[in-house]
A and B are shown apart, each in its own frame.
Chain A
Amino acid sequence: QITLKESGPTLVKPTQTLTLTCTFSGFSLTNSGVGVGWIRQPPGKALEWLALIYWTDNKRYSPSLKNRLTITKDTSKNQVVLSVTNLDPVDTATYYCAHSTVFYDSSGYYSYFNYWGQGTLVTVSS
């Protein structure tokens, strides 16, 4: 059974750095064809993909966050960590981590998110 759970602060001040941890079980990020992604959702709005890390340790980021994101994995702890720097109130959202089964070929990797954590609401406010 695959489960994921996000943890981290619920209230962060503007300009600070947010660090979120995704702790998972039921799979290993050393297995071929596996990824973990972060997706956020501002209140009442649509989903926004942020970052993805693969079993190979390859990483992909959303360009719209302009180098504010860092994603890392600790396979011994079954954790993936996302850092977001220079927070602004517009970053207020529920942040989800999600397991991805990765399809890949000579052209690249293709991911859908088939298991999700419960999400954690992060409010950015002074």
Chain B
Amino acid sequence: DIQMTQSPSSVSASVGDRITITCRASQDISSWLGWYQQKPGKAPNLLIFAVSSLQSGVPSRFSGSGSGTDFTLTISSLQPEDFGTYFCQQANSFPYTFGQGTTLEIK
């Protein structure tokens, strides 16, 4: 199985800050990488697919980059509603795997 490792595990930032979350795959997954946001008690919400394609309705302050094994999710200007846990997912090969999550707290 491909292991997905996220860092940091948690981050606290202020409104307006720029934050970056990293996801590393244990082997090359090309560009088959997605990012999800999950709020407490809710289902995950797809933000980005294929590394950098924004899902419909997702604000443009979210962006993704990377290829191969190293990927990043960036929020350019943090908003209060961006709190929650972020997960990466590789779609390159079965079984699909998710990162362990990064919890974002707004100061």
Contacts and interface: CB of A to CB of B under 8 A. Distances in A.
Interface of A: 46-49, 52, 60-64, 96, 98, 103, 108, 110-114, 116-119
Contacts of A98: 43
A112 B34 contact: yes
Contacts of A52: 96
A110 B87 CA distance: 17
Contact of B44 (A60, A61, A116): A116
B94 A114 contact: no
Chain B: interface secondary structure? loop
A119 B100 contact: no
A46 B98 contact: yes
Given A60-B94, A62-B95, A112-B34, A47 B45 contact: no
Interface size classification for chain B? 20 to 34
Contacts of B99: 46
A87 B98 CA distance: 23
B96 A49 contact: yes
A103 B49 CA distance: 11
A63 B95 contact: yes
30 contacts: A46-B98, A46-B99, A47-B44, A47-B87, A47-B89, A47-B98, A48-B98, A49-B96, A49-B97, A49-B98, A52-B96, A61-B95, A62-B95, A64-B95, A96-B43, A96-B44, A103-B50, A103-B91, A110-B32, A111-B91, A112-B46, A112-B50, A112-B91, A113-B46, A113-B89, A114-B49, A114-B55, A118-B42, A118-B43, A119-B43
Nearest to A49: B96
B49 A49 contact: no
Contacts of B46: 112-114
A110 B97 CA distance: 12
B101 interface: yes
